[in-house]
Amino acid sequence: MIQEKQSMDYNGNFYQSLGSGISVFSLIIITNLLARRDTYLLRSSNKRLASAKRSEDGSVVRKNINNVPHRQLPDRHLSPRFTRPIGIRYADKRFDSRKEFNLLWLRLRRFRQSVVENSWLFLLNGRSLGSSLLISLILFPCLQAIAADSKPNVVLILSDDMGYSDLPKFGESEIPTPNIDRLANEGTLFTEAYVTAPVCVVSRMGLLSGQYQQRFGMYDNIYGEEKVRLFLDQTLLPSVFQKAGYRTALVGKWHLNGNKRKQYTRGSPLQRGFDEYISFLGGDSPFWKGTPVNRGDDPYPAPEYLTDLWGSEACAFIDRNQANPFFLYLAFNAVHSPMHALDADQDQFSNIEDENRRIYDGMLLSMDRSIGRVLQRLDTHGIADNTIVVFLNDNGGGESTERYAPHSRNFANNQPLQGHKFDVFEGGVRVPMMIRWPGQVPADSVYGKMVSSMDLLPTLVEAAGLPMPSDQPTDGVDLLPFIKGENTSTPHEWLSWQNRSWLPRKEGGFVVPTPNIHNSAIRKGNWKLVRLNENLDSGVRPPAWQLYNLETDIGERNDLADKHTDIVKELSSQFDSWRSSMHPTIE
Ligand SMILES: [Ca+2]
């Protein structure tokens, strides 16, 4: 289901600002009239002022400032509160959702007092209309600050190449992940979550654009600025938050700016909606201390093990921005190869015989530790209740055989799913996912209907009350009404996948991407249709579809295509219709 979401046109901002300014001007006049009840102002014949006003506890405190010309009044007499950011969230007080209304009301009262005091002072200075207009211009940002203050923060956590069953919440895992588990305990866990592709680049394109990346011709990890031109024209999730005044940051893997050898001039995180970032070039990186990473355009050696560094940087970003709305995209490169784990972490798994698996376990353990530090930081600042935390994985876990190149081999556990990274079987595209937003998203809850990583853009944007990008389609849907039980239908009747095949080399060796040879799949209800190695160039009949019933065969091992030709016909027709609405592959 494709939803063409129409929303606020950014071109209308001028008129909105003008209208808001007029509204504030009207508010000032009204508050001036109301102020007569609780503000007493005297005006001397020589335009010198005396005022009395209510103190914080409501009692009237008289401040005699006669004989002091208005223009010489120190700022604190103008209004001590006016000089303080009105929308600031008080870091030393826990923002309890149960007290949210009272806090908001308190801020509005403080704001009204500022309006009253300052507008009267300006008005008494003999410049009524001009001063009030000036106040409107000054106070409008304050109104925006108040509105922004109620906006939820976002922490979007992505893991890389993790196996579906490597979290205790999803399978038989030997790896303790108490911090990721905490997100499920305090939020909603999704058992049928999918990414849009079984490899890094295209999966991240779908996640951050809220669309099938096939809309801009992307069917694999393709590099070259001209080839990804259509993607570079898309508005991405961080841009939506950045335009709304959020502070936005990427910490970790980007991989949407080319590979290690070729970077795009328009693909930097700074050009895609992030105010700041710390990352590395390409799709994978060594993890050791001293590895070169980039903070903005400035390279420097990582001061600690990379997964720990991402945790440290995420915490530092939260520290810097805990008093204002922020959007943090925390994209771990764990547990993508190369297989580098700290000794102390892999030593926790001395009972595991396979050394490669011990290393994998240690890498995942360190990621969970960093996630725990981030969650603790939200608690420390008292902003956990006002922060949406999302966790998901970018594609299925890598294989453990030498068919796969070392950069795609990480000894993950996808059981009982069929396939791995690169595959359109469940093992390539079904991923663990969870969302925590205390008071808004049901806690300790499981949502079992099909959802997509494309849904996160509309879900997060709608949750923050922001306008959707108006100049591009959205294939995702807002999940909140579904997981709250307000909408009992299904977010997606069907989902489709198409990705370039990775086939073994003719001369031997590990699998490689093969131009114009594609794998395809569509899932509708519990039926999953899969077609492997279709040659898009040839006129030969494409390979037959395989049909699986995921309700009874989650491992996609019992092909039922011959028994249910009507279902094959229906779903294949649906797939063809979807494919014809996408952009042809750019390879
Ligand atoms: Ca990946």
Q: Is 200 a catalytic residue?
A: yes
Looking at residue 202, its pLDDT comes to 98
Q: Residues 436-453: what's their mean pLDDT? A: 98
Neighbouring C-alpha atoms within 13 Å toward the C-beta of 353: 0
Q: Would you give the DSSP letter of residue 348? A: G
- In the structure, what pLDDT confidence band is assigned to residue 505 with cuts at 50, 70 and 90? confident
29, 149, 377 from 123: Cα distances, Å: 10, 29, 45
Q: Would you give the DSSP letter of residue 73? A: S
**Ligand 1: distance of its center to the CA of 32 in Å?**
59
pLDDT at position 78 over 90: no
Looking at residue 399, its pLDDT comes to 85
Q: Tell me if 403 sits within 8 A of 510, measured CB to CB.
A: yes
Residues 536-564: tens digit of each pLDDT: 998 889 999 999 999 999 999 999 999 99
Average pLDDT, the chain: 83
Q: Tell me if 89 sits within 8 A of 378, measured CB to CB.
A: no
* φ, ψ for residue 436, nearest 5 deg: -120, 125
Residue 507: CB atoms within 10 Å = 5
Helix (H) or strand (E) holding 53: strand 49-54
Choosing from 77, 142, 255, 381, the catalytic residue is 255
**Ligand 1: distance of its center to the CA of 337 in Å?**
10
Residues 375-433: tens digit of each pLDDT: 999 999 999 999 999 999 999 999 888 888 888 899 999 999 999 999 999 999 999 99
**Ligand 1: distance of its center to the CA of 486 in Å?**
34
Q: Which two tokens stand for residue 536?
A: 């898009």
- In the structure, what pLDDT confidence band is assigned to residue 111 with cuts at 50, 70 and 90? low
Q: Tell me if 585 sits within 8 A of 536, measured CB to CB.
A: yes
**Ligand 1: distance of its center to the CA of 198 in Å?**
8
Residues 517-543: tens digit of each pLDDT: 999 999 999 999 999 999 999 888 999
Q: List 430's β-bridge partners, or say none.
A: 194
Looking at residue 28, its pLDDT comes to 52
Helix 456-463 and helix 200-209: axis angle, to 10°?
Answer: 30
Cβ contacts of 227-231, under 8 Å, gap ≥ 24: 227/586, 227/587, 228/264, 228/267, 228/586, 230/583, 230/586, 231/205, 231/256
230, 256, 282, 360 from 260: Cα distances, Å: 21, 11, 4, 23
pLDDT at position 108 over 80: no
290-316 burial, b for 16+ CB within 10 Å, e for fewer?
Answer: ebebbeeeeeeebebbbbbbbbbbbbe
Q: Tell me if 164 sits within 8 A of 171, measured CB to CB.
A: yes
Choosing from 200, 315, 340, 381, the catalytic residue is 200
Give me the sheet containing 40-43, strands edge to edge: 40-43, 49-54, 60-63
- In the structure, what pLDDT confidence band is assigned to residue 95 with cuts at 50, 70 and 90? very low
Q: Tell me if 313 sits within 8 A of 278, measured CB to CB.
A: yes
Task: Please give the domain boundaries of the chain with CATH numbers for all domains.
Answer: 13-149 (no CATH), 153-495 (3.40.720.10), 496-580 (3.30.1120.10)
**Ligand 1: distance of its center to the CA of 453 in Å?**
14
Q: Residues 219-238: what's their mean pLDDT? A: 96
Helix (H) or strand (E) holding 548: strand 546-549
Residues 146-184: tens digit of each pLDDT: 554 579 999 999 999 999 999 999 999 999 999 999 999
Round to whole Å and give the CA distance between 274 and 330.
12
Looking at residue 297, its pLDDT comes to 76
